[in-house]
Structure 1
């Protein structure tokens, strides 16, 4: 992504991203009342009308991310995102964003393991302008050597700033490589430095030609627009772009994680120790039983979704041995899922004591289960967040685009809270035993030390 934007969205999970993710997936039957069509070239178009203000968000999502990169070419998906702003036959490098800004709008882009998205927020009467610009670079991007070389340095600097200079990011990168044994989620979204340095112009051209095609894209428009008018514009600008055959993409799965390992990173920049436990869990896309994913969402809320959750209440409030504690369920990608637990000890509390307290709470859940009251309150919290999902003018475009990009249907998005509401306490306890009770795990530990080292 271009600087200065938020950190890459993907398989690096933090507590704040977890909370954002809950809202992200929050959708309620008919809350969006989205309308959709598919162009003749295979491009999906979705419109959410919201007439509260005369603005619109226009997003194009490509069903391609870092997990689709050729072996040895890590970072090319993110690098191409940068290059998408470097011009076409009719738009000079940098002119795309300059044009949007001159018209009072904002634009940006981001890359994840699963998708790449480009968006603009503008006045409603500027929608056709941004659609013309975006469709142009879908079909006519110029990837020139004189733009490629300096942009590589920008990407390398971004890696330095966001990963190499951040102890937490270094640890998460190492832990992901330990956790995923067979899946490309093990490779960081931004790429390994030595592979970024070796990327060539033709790598970007090949990736663009393979995946940047309308039959691999979703257009989502949210705001002060009419669906029929958007469909007409989409036909005019995107409908004229021919589709291309997409590469075969294997359905990569993880083997069972049967062993436990600990990844420790020590750095003298660390001021607050922390520990996370990662467990394999089914994602919604890969789950044999979709109900498992909904039950895991509820379990994540019960254990560590907020300040009233089990982990926070016990470790932070009641025992006072931690300054933060919680859990997350990451099951919204095209690949395998993960259930995680984390704790950061209070001052003068040894990390092993905090870890023991965390594990004691997990053992209690495995032994006694969660209660009906906990499940009911967790479901209510999730559904309450769904009730405000449409309040944001740009939120629906983000929520729907992300979901459709990884394999959900529009109906899945609209009925998601209803499915959450059908989760039972027995289902939550069953997935807790199966996921949290499994033998394999990866524990990642961040500690202060004058001499930085990584051990595994």
Structure 2
């Protein structure tokens, strides 16, 4: 470890990696806060992201949806910033602001001109430690979230089907409940629940700051120490892996929804993002489903004309997730027809593998996607987070 004496003993450089022109430095404060710094001085902009190691998988039964609801509440007020002022101040400096919650994480980001680094550090550190919340604010955001659930799940056949699929796939693991939460749980969340959630998970030792772009290292470290250094770490529940019981037979669910044609969703338990098999899974998905020349796409859409669209999602989660395949059938065709084609292609790959040309093409596409991700400060920060 290398203690940076120029900034006092409060922040340490604990790791550094260089790849080509990219150089990432990792720092840690004594209170557990982690900072990832990736400079890029090509344009006078920066991306400032705050990642918390909490998502819907950390919610207890009966408290689903609290991670996503709290993401909304974080834009309310603090002891130092009146309600609405957070967004107004960032709008005045030309900033772009948003947030997202998923299974394993919640993150907040600001993309701003680099001259306004100090403003962003002040605002983000302030709401990490000085947020205030009242019942009226909770009720307002509860209504917003319930309306989101109605729009994107209850009244959206595609959202509804995905929710049903994941619930059927996970009988024990919290990945089985939706990030937006069950409606009855959202309605029952109390002010005390939200404040306890904030006090537990929105702590420096549960956060990672990612700063990329045109940022001076010394100015950044000085500001981080000044604004975050005095924060008190909290007792964060340790990550407790939940092992989903092995599935021994297929599970099938039929839904009767107002669709113009049948839709098929298939889910397969898939390795965690840290599993060495995950990369192979991404390559296989490219060969089978991604692009006009992919095997299953050709069989169902181009040649077979059974479906109007085919898609697949490779999970990148901390625990084993669900590989999700979706097919929109053409009118007059049945989901069973598409299922048979897909299963046949899976069996063929298991017997014969893929060709060298397919492997090379898939690798090239994935590498291209990776390098595209590095084009902007915001994309680089999200990749690190």
TM-score, length-normalised on structure 1? Answer: 0.77
Instruction: Give 2:302's aligned residue.
Output: 317
1:168 to 137, 144, 158: 158
1:387 matches 2:376: no
Distance verdict in 2 for CA 1:31–1:356, change over 3 Å:
farther
Which shifted more, 356-365 or 184-193?
A: 356-365
C-alpha distance in 1 between matches for 2:373 and 2:163: 31
1:183 matches 2:173: yes
C-alpha distance in 2 between matches for 1:319 and 1:29: 44
Instruction: Give 1:105's aligned residue.
Output: 95
Report the Cα offset of residue 373 of structure 1: 1.9
Distance verdict in 2 for CA 1:184–1:53, change over 3 Å:
same
1:333 to 317, 330, 346: 317
CA contact (8 A) 2:46 2:114 kept: yes
Report the Cα offset of residue 378 of structure 1: 0.7
Higher relative CO (Cα under 8 Å, sequence separation at least 6) belongs to 1
Instruction: Give 1:198's aligned residue.
Output: 188
1:154 matches 2:107: no
1:304 matches 2:293: no
Instruction: Give 2:220's aligned residue.
Output: 230
1:248 to 203, 228, 238: 238
Which shifted more, 180-189 or 317-326?
A: 317-326
Report the Cα offset of residue 55 of structure 1: 1.3
Report the Cα offset of residue 124 of structure 1: 0.7
Q: Secondary structure at the match of 1:333?
A: coil
CA contact (8 A) 1:167 1:265 kept: no
1:207 to 169, 179, 197: 197
1:283 to 260, 264, 272: 272
Instruction: Give 1:370's aligned residue.
Output: 354
CA contact (8 A) 1:28 1:387 kept: no
Aligned 1:398-413 pairs, distance under 5 A: 398-401=382-385
Report the Cα offset of residue 185 of structure 1: 0.8
Distance verdict in 2 for CA 1:315–1:146, change over 3 Å:
closer
Report the Cα offset of residue 226 of structure 1: 2.3
1:273 matches 2:262: yes
| 1:258-308 deviations in Å (ceiling 9; x for gaps) | 11121222222x1242212111122134xxxx3211111111111112222
TM-score, length-normalised on structure 2? Answer: 0.91
Report the Cα offset of residue 360 of structure 1: 1.8
Distance verdict in 2 for CA 1:309–1:31, change over 3 Å:
farther
C-alpha distance in 2 between matches for 1:326 and 1:121: 31
Report the Cα offset of residue 145 of structure 1: 1.6
CA contact (8 A) 2:271 2:319 kept: no
Report the Cα offset of residue 337 of structure 1: 2.3
Aligned 1:82-121 pairs, distance under 5 A: 82-121=72-111
Segments of structure 2 that go 5 or more residues without pairing to the other structure are 1-16
CA contact (8 A) 1:139 1:241 kept: yes
Instruction: Give 1:52's aligned residue.
Output: 42
Q: Secondary structure at the match of 2:158?
A: helix
| 1:48-92 deviations in Å (ceiling 9; x for gaps) | 222232111111000001111122111111111111111111111
Segments of structure 1 that go 5 or more residues without pairing to the other structure are 1-26, 402-456
Report the Cα offset of residue 42 of structure 1: 1.1
| 1:134-155 deviations in Å (ceiling 9; x for gaps) | 1011011102122112221121
Q: Secondary structure at the match of 1:33?
A: strand
Instruction: Give 1:348's aligned residue.
Output: 332
Instruction: Give 1:295's aligned residue.
Output: 280
C-alpha distance in 1 between matches for 2:334 and 2:18: 44
Report the Cα offset of residue 203 of structure 1: 0.2
Number of equivalenced pairs: 369
C-alpha distance in 1 between matches for 2:183 and 2:196: 20
Distance verdict in 2 for CA 1:28–1:356, change over 3 Å:
farther
Report the Cα offset of residue 28 of structure 1: 9.9
Q: Secondary structure at the match of 2:42?
A: coil
Instruction: Give 2:13's aligned residue.
Output: none
Which shifted more, 222-231 or 99-108?
A: 222-231
C-alpha distance in 1 between matches for 2:18 and 2:155: 41
Instruction: Give 2:345's aligned residue.
Output: 361
